[in-house]
Copies of this chain bind each other. A is one copy, B any other.
Amino acid sequence: MNVKPILTNKQLKPYLLKARYGVEKESQRVTKAGDLVATDYPKTLGNRSFHPYIQTDFAETQMELVTPITDSITELFDWLAAIHDTAYRSMDSEEMLWPMSMPPALPEVEENIVIAKLDNFEDVLYRRFLAMSYGRRKQMVSGIHFNFEFDDEMVRKMFELQDEYKNYHQFNSEVYLKVTRNYLHYRWFATYFFAASPLSGPHYFNGHERPEEPVRSIRNSKYGYQNHDDVKVTYRSVEEYVADIQQMVEEGKLSEEKEFYAPVRLRGGKSVADLANKPVRYIELRNIDLDPYQPYGISKEEVEFFHIFMLFLLWTDEKAEADEWVFQGDQLNELVSLESPLSQTACYDEAQKLLAEIRSFVAQTGLNVSTEILDHLEEMLEDPAKTLAGRIYLASKETSQKELAVQQGLSYYRKAWQAPYQLAGFTDMELSTQIFLFDAIQKGLQVEVLDRQDQFLKLTAQDHTEYVKNGNMTSKDTYITPLMMENKTVTKKLLQRAGFKVPQGKEFTDKKAAYSSYEEFRDKGIVVKPKSTNYGLGITVFKDGTNEKDYIKAIDTAFAEDSSVLVEKFLAGTEYRFFVVGDQVKAVLLRVPANVSGDGKHSIKELVDRKNDDPLRGENHRTPLEKIHLGQSEQFVLQEQGYQIDSIPNKGETIYLRDNSNVSTGGDSIDMTDAFTDDYKQIAVEVAQTLGAAICGIDMIITDINLPASSSDVYGIIEANFNPMMHMHCYPFEGKGRRLTMDILKLLYPDFIQRKDR
């Protein structure tokens, strides 16, 4: 296949740097001291029989973290980050992940390496067979499998631009086969730069034959985890590749297809046999060591390198017959793997040549990649100490490989626990959605972010798909229910008729009619407000009646905001938010207006700054609480109380900075779920049911929560919210957090989510 004129065709340019990526990463669970743990797969995680993101490899301690297929490197790392965050915070809080390919100290007695306790007995049997065939110690090595798929449109365009192949599937297979053979031939090049297993840990070899350490990669050498020598497979054609593997299985040289541990696998359907009638969809690079300097075991730079390298391998001609070409590669890779990490490689000249060819390829195709990546390779080529293996070896010499692994591991552990409400990779999304995503990933729902800015998710468990926006808008509610809640007049009418206590009132669409109703309201406590209240604008409260002049002013103020104005009875008491999911109140929250407590020393401004230092406080619903601002509204509220921002309040004095208690304007959230008796909760549930709502927030004014709800005038329903915030309940300022996101997941997947949440 003469591919160079095709790849340089300008029609191809938009597609060259597009691809699909996926990572599977194994890691051993260890204590914070770096010892292999004795605990089982975390119970908080969903069923690992079909968990799409967090599985178990050979051993019970060996987690396998799997990203979905992504369309960009950014997205790949978002998922790596999210899955790692979820894994860390689903494990025992004293456990972390070992950041290296070579395992930590193994038990002296091999049988003490615990095989993964999987539900499926066949899976356990397979692992027992591997233990017998290869020994348990070798199975403890971890690595990264990198899945790479060229942009489909690129391959199709290439097909259009050639005339050697008439059949698209055949052409597509040949593209991947060529890359595979070239990768097998040139993989020593990647080994030189990125190999990261120079030293073994205690009891890894345990008396077996071992290399003279340090090397570049124990894992990539014959001392790593490889098939027995009698396993030979050709890469001449897909048909022969499939036939060879199947024959190995028939002859008993492999127990099953998946025991074929080549550095690259061709992937199409679920099994190797599928490749006979399905096109190759992607290739799986299996020889990548974990980079302990990277929180997720691999750097973006390395992924970018592999992308360029794949394109180059497609570009560059093979210089020998297929089997011979691959055989040469195996030899070279063994050679480079077993070199000392600080020595110049024997393939130095060849590497120089290859680098120059890659640069030329980049130039000829006009590939828009940063030259830094190639410059860095060059640097590492010149100075082996700068290669990954070199750096690890040098650092290990200073202390020990274990010390290095523990230090790195701890730094990733700390990062994962630093802001436990956030989900790394998705911190640009609203906090409620981040928490929701965490729970969905933890329980093993397949999650897709359909639109990040719009907080729009797709969830799938087996064949059951649900769509969720903002974490609380689902198929469990009908179209009309939120519209009913949005309209306060409608809400009130329906609740009142159903027998709930709501503030009595009138709606006016005409100023004069409102004015002339003064007599009706003069002696009553009333609230005058625009029908659609936004941010509390245009609201006037008269707690004990008013005079006509002030009443008219209030009407005018409200009409300035809306063409409809409500005059409602004022209800005295405290407002609580009842969060209803299904037929239960899952949380009750008291919201307190933004405030500071005086200490007799600091000014209000200083106290606000100090309160804002809390990492729980941020901006724009990305943290459980919002920072308190000192804007016009706050200064006005202070003035009304006779304060300035530089006033120094007395010790113990609480100064409020807002009239409204919204968390979004810096208010505090206080969980009160357990403080309420069932009668109030029952009212909230029935209010939700009256409006037909499955998920909603009911705002209730209560004069005294110690009185039974049946008492006269003890409560009033103020509002029903169809998009109630969840994060303020999950991580309140005070009191117990309530995992509403998990409750909603359970509402959506009652059968799927069985385990108790944390």
Contacts and interface: CB of A to CB of B under 8 A. Distances in A.
Contacts of A14: 517, 519-520
A479 B477 CA distance: 5
Interface stretch (A114-122, A277-285, A487-495, A644-652): A487-495
B473 A509 contact: no
A487 B454 contact: yes
A722 B481 CA distance: 15
Contacts of A368: 516
Interface centre among A478, A479, A482, A484 (most CB of B within 10 A): A479
Contacts of A476: 478-479
Given A479-B475, A481-B479, A483-B469, A490 B520 contact: no
A26 B631 CA distance: 66
A451 B474 CA distance: 26
B490 A450 contact: yes
B477 A473 contact: no
Nearest to A470: B483
Contact of A450 (B481, B489, B519): B489
A222 B722 CA distance: 62
A722 B482 CA distance: 14
A248 B250 CA distance: 102
Nearest to A694: B479
A468 interface: yes
Contacts of A692: 467, 475
Contact of A480 (B13, B474, B494, B722): B474
B451 A490 contact: yes
A484 B487 CA distance: 22
Given A490-B451, A490-B454, A474 B479 contact: yes
Contacts of A516: 368
A468 B480 CA distance: 7
A456 interface: yes
Contacts of A478: 474-479
A453 interface: yes
Contacts of A453: 509, 563-564
A293 B308 CA distance: 89
B473 A483 contact: yes
Interface centre among A469, A480, A490 (most CB of B within 10 A): A480
A82 B692 CA distance: 30
Interface centre among A368, A483, A494 (most CB of B within 10 A): A483
A306 B450 CA distance: 63
Interface in A390-415: none
Contacts of A469: 480, 483
B467 A473 contact: no
A368 B512 CA distance: 14
A451 B566 CA distance: 13
Given A487-B456, A519-B13, A480 B451 contact: no
Nearest to A520: B14
Contacts of A481: 475, 479
A520 B520 CA distance: 68
A155 to B, nearest CB: 16
Contacts of A483: 456, 467, 469, 473
Interface in A437-457: 450-451, 453-454, 456
A493 B451 CA distance: 10
Interface of A: 10, 13-14, 368, 450-451, 453-454, 456, 466-469, 473-484, 487, 489-490, 493-494, 509, 516-517, 519-520, 563-564, 692, 722
Given A10-B519, A477-B478, 18 more contacts: A14-B520, A368-B516, A450-B487, A450-B489, A450-B494, A453-B564, A454-B487, A456-B483, A456-B484, A467-B480, A467-B483, A467-B490, A469-B480, A474-B479, A475-B479, A475-B481, A475-B692, A477-B480
18 contacts: A450-B493, A451-B487, A467-B484, A467-B692, A468-B480, A469-B483, A473-B480, A473-B483, A474-B480, A475-B480, A475-B481, A475-B692, A476-B478, A476-B479, A477-B479, A478-B478, A479-B482, A479-B722
Q: Sort A-B residue pairs by CB-CB distance and give the 5 closest, nearest first.
A: A14-B520, A477-B479, A475-B478, A14-B519, A450-B490
